[in-house]
Amino acid sequence: MKKLLPICAAIAIVIVGCQSSSEAPAASTTASTNNAAVGSNFAAVQTTFASKCAGCHGDTNPKDGVSMVSYEAIQRGGSHGPILVAGKPEGSVLVDVLRARNGKKQMPPSGPLPEADIAAVEAWIKDGAKN
Ligand code: HEC
């Protein structure tokens, strides 16, 4: 009877092992669903641009030719060229002005947006600056 004890223990370990490995796929399914939800589109940044930028970057005579009123206008860029590189927030003038870096003037001129808003713009560009 005593000899059965290690065998029982081994079976118990196998059962526990099987249970935890059968839970693993469920957990990774949840994670991939969450990742898909993180990908942002224009809706995530549109309100910020409309309320904080469009006053000076509207349809009529926008500063530096940069209109922030629509997805298409932002893709067009301004009088100095494109203002964003899809997938590359670090190479985008749009982020340079929000962070007042690479010699760019602070936008909006009254002071930086809340960090969460700047991060949302960076995430949008990083995700491909989709409409
Ligand atoms: C109060 C007016 C005003 C507001 C609000 C404003 N801008 Fe500007 N923006 C300007 C002016 C003026 C310029 C021209 C640059 C200069 O001052 O030399 C400019 C230039 C720019 C440029 C071109 C920079 C370059 O070097 O090509 C970008 C991009 C830009 N703004 C983005 C934004 C964004 C994004 C917002 C909102 C977060 C914003 N601006 C809000 C006035 C404004």
> How large is the average pLDDT for residues 82-100?
98
Greatest Cα-to-Cα distance within the chain, rounded to the nearest angstrom = 92
Specify the residue with its C-alpha closest to ligand 1, atom 36. 53
Pick the atom of ligand 1 nearest to 110's CA.
Answer: 1
Distance 101 CA to ligand 1 centre (A): 13
Burial of 28 (0-12, 13-18, 19+ CB in 10 A): exposed
pLDDT of residue 27: 42
Average pLDDT, the chain: 82
Buried b (16+ CB within 10 A) or exposed e, 2-11: eeeeeeeeee
Give pLDDT tens digits for 118-130. 999 999 999 999 9
pLDDT of residue 39: 78
Give the pLDDT band of residue 2 (cuts 50, 70, 90).
Answer: low
Ligand 1 site, CB within 6 A: 52-53, 55-57, 63-64, 66, 68, 78, 80, 83, 93-94, 97, 104-105, 107-109, 113
> How large is the average pLDDT for residues 1-20?
47
